[in-house]
Amino acid sequence: MQPKPNNILVLGLMAAILAAISAFAFSKPNKPAVKLEIPKLFSSITTGGAVYAKQTLALRGEPVTLTGFAASDPNIPDRFVLTRTRKTVCSPCDESADYPSSITVIFPNATTEAVPISTDSVFVYLANNQKLPTTGEKIRITGKLEPTQSTDSITRYSSLVQVREASLGPIQ
């Protein structure tokens, strides 16, 4: 016996309603982004390197908001450095540029050369093809915090903190 067209429509509608209810019931609620300040990402700088603040580690993978100045390379449209102080050139993008005084030199191990890492900046990976900010522009970003030492595969810039899936927002 074939189901009637009206019954198929009702069953399809009921299935769609149940799917929507279960998606809503079992989805993670959107957490509000926690406002952070670049100088407070680390609790101290020691001879062994930078020490992450407890809050920084507790927010791993969580949404955060940071305000700072962009240091970008127009040839790399989906990532840039967010710094605490305004730069006229992007230090990671221009080898001849002076690095800020807050650079910490890290020696990963005895067989590799020293890697300069800034505790004054965050490496930002933009989401969704957003327009790259101009170097020196004051901006606010929101994205997922990753407190880990990482070297970007394209820029070769090493950072101790990255923000992924970031979006640009107005300064508040």
Taking the whole predicted model, whether its pTM rises above 0.75 is answered as no
**Residue 160: pLDDT over 60:** yes
Q: Between the CA atoms of 120, 125, 127 and 132, what dihedral angle is there, to the nearest 10 degrees? A: 70
**Residue 136: pLDDT over 70:** yes
User: Which of 83-92, 129-138, 159-168 shows the lowest mean pLDDT across its residues?
Assistant: 83-92
Q: CATH number of the domain at 159, please.
A: 2.40.50.140
| Residue 3 within a domain | no
SS3 23: helix
Count the domains in the chain. 1
**Residue 135: pLDDT over 60:** yes
- Output DSSP code: residue 30: P
The pLDDT of residue 27 is 47
- The residues that bridge with 104 in the sheet, in sequence order, are 117
| Residue 97 within a domain | yes
| Residue 162 within a domain | yes
pLDDT band at 152 (very low <50, low <70, confident <90, very high): confident
Average pLDDT of the residues in 126-149: 92
Nearest to 159 by CA among 114, 111, 124: 124
**Residue 22: pLDDT over 50:** yes
